[in-house]
Amino acid sequence: MKAAVVTSFTAPLEVLDRAVPEPGHGEVLIRLETCGLCHTDIHAAHGDWPVKPHPPFVPGHEGVGIVEKLGDGVTDRTVGERVAIPWLGYACGECRYCIDGRETLCEKQHNSGYSVDGAFAEYAVAAARFVVPVPDGISSLDAAPLTCAGVTTYKALKVAAIVPTERVAVFGIGGLGHLAVQYGRIMGGSVIAVDVEDAKLDLAMDLGAEHTVNAATVDPVAAIRALGGADVALVLAASPRVFEQAFASLNRGGRLICVALPADQEMTVSIFETVLKGISIIGSIVGTRQDLAEVFALHAAGHTKIIAEPRRLDQVNDAIAEVLSGKVLARLVFEY
């Protein structure tokens, strides 16, 4: 099979011939049809984060494909079934976090394309319990971005506990942000889209944003305050400065939802304002299997729209450069 492999944090990915892996106990072999390119894959390939993956490895955690083989002990998946491989590749199922519905916090978790090989390949193995069936009526091209970009923003806005008519500012309109705009509307929020590219802001308006702010031409804090301030600020842009702007845009009782993971990890916020204004700062990491099932159900019902462009696996390094340029409207998806 062909696989895009990180061999070094300082070198481009290499598209190599590898043996098709065999599923172990509790695993399935998946013939992949698509896999989205997430900014997390780029962080992984560059070794940006404190806990680093170990080269050589295959990135990719928005994989969608067909189950071709069952490992020993697998009874809940079937050959021929179409499934998604999400970031949460495995959790123990026994710790307090798994038991109370917070499996994404499991300390024994494996992460697809990071701690275990992922879906930038024609085949991948995955834990049978943690792949998620893709409903009929959703194309594999659409299902790939939903598997991370969708479930991540959906879960983040769930934990924001939006009250209908509250103003929800989405900082960063792209692969994640174009879905966050839609989920914000579905949950009853009045969405303010913030970005530095007019094309992305135009897309946000088409997808349901009520206001847009171009942070390259105006002070986003002043602009959001002029609209009445934000009750929820969701940060999807990997810049500490954007987190600080989002915090400053919040009304009393506002919630700052932290999702993006910049390599420069520190942000500065006022303790005084946090306390006196009753602001909550909440970290949200991807979503559970149930969250992803809900995301798929919403899309199958026609409530969301995916903006994605296909690419070939041998274009992986060019695709990464495109994403880093900031010019990609939403999501790039590898098709096999």
Neighbours of 95 (CB within 10 A): 16
Output the pLDDT for position 187.
98
Q: Give residue 84's pLDDT band: very low, low, confident or very high (50, 70, 90).
A: very high
Distance in angstroms (rounded) separating the CA atoms of residues 272 and 311: 48
Dump the DSSP string for 178-223: HHHHHHHHHTT-EEEEEES-HHHHHHHHHTT-SEEEETTTS-HHHH
CA distances 20 to 62, 87, 125, Å, are 19, 21, 9
What mean pLDDT comes out for the span 265-293?
97
DSSP label at residue 87 = S
* 242 token code pair: 């954007």
What mean pLDDT comes out for the span 109-119?
98
Q: Give residue 263's pLDDT band: very low, low, confident or very high (50, 70, 90).
A: confident
C-beta of residue 308 within 8 angstroms of C-beta of residue 332: yes
What mean pLDDT comes out for the span 184-212?
98
Tokens 């303010």 sit at which residue? 192
* 132 token code pair: 């998620």
Distance in angstroms (rounded) separating the CA atoms of residues 170 and 189: 11
Tell me: pLDDT of 78 over 90: yes
Q: Indicate the SS3 state at residue 309.
A: strand
Q: What is the pLDDT of residues 118-150, one digit of tens each?
A: 999 999 999 999 999 999 999 999 999 999 999
Output the pLDDT for position 5.
98
What mean pLDDT comes out for the span 279-297?
98
Q: Is the pTM of this model over 0.85?
A: yes
Output the pLDDT for position 189.
98
Mean pLDDT taken over the chain: 97
* 106 token code pair: 């499991």
Distance in angstroms (rounded) separating the CA atoms of residues 306 and 308: 6
Distance in angstroms (rounded) separating the CA atoms of residues 86 and 182: 21
Output the pLDDT for position 239.
95
